Amino acid sequence: MRKDEEIMMEYRAGSVDALEEIFQRYKKPILNYAFKLLSSFADAEDVVGEVFYILTSRKNSYEPVAKFSTWIYTIAHNVSIDRIRRRRKILFFWQKKDKDGSSYEELDIPDTRFMPDSDAEDSDIAGYVKKAIDKLPFQLKEAIVLRQYHNLSYEEISAVLNCSLSKVKILIFRAKEVLRKELLPYMEEIR
Residues that bind other proteins (CB under 8 A): 16, 19-20, 23, 27-28, 31-32, 35-36, 40-41, 44-45, 48-49, 52-53, 56-57, 87, 90-91, 109-112, 114, 125-126, 128-130, 133, 144, 147-149, 153-154, 169-170, 172-173, 176-177, 179-180, 183-184, 186-187, 190
Q: Report, in Å, the least distance between residue 5 CB and other proteins.
A: 19
Q: Report, in Å, the least distance between residue 174 CB and other proteins.
A: 9
Q: How far is CA 30 from the centre of its chain?
A: 7
Q: Report, in Å, the least distance between residue 4 CB and other proteins.
A: 16
User: Residue 74 or 131: which CB sits closer to other proteins?
Assistant: 131
131 class by beta-carbon count within 10 Å (0-12 exposed, 13-18 middle, 19+ buried): middle
What is the rounded CA–CA span in Å between residue 146 and residue 29?
A: 10
Say which amino acid occupies 79. V
What is the rounded CA–CA span in Å between residue 191 and residue 8?
A: 40
User: Residue 27 or 135: which CB sits closer to other proteins?
Assistant: 27
CA neighbours closer than 13 Å in the CB half-sphere of residue 189: 8
User: Residue 163 or 170: which CB sits closer to other proteins?
Assistant: 170
Q: Report, in Å, the least distance between residue 109 CB and other proteins.
A: 5
Q: Report, in Å, the least distance between residue 93 CB and other proteins.
A: 10
Say which amino acid occupies 17. D
Please say whether the beta carbons of 5 and 110 come within 8 A.
no
Phi first, then psi, for residue 66 (nearest 5°) are -100, 155
Instruction: Name, in order, each residue with C-beta under 8 angstroms of 183's C-beta and a sequence gap of 6 or more.
Output: 125, 128, 129, 132
SS3 79: helix
Q: Report, in Å, the least distance between residue 150 CB and other proteins.
A: 11
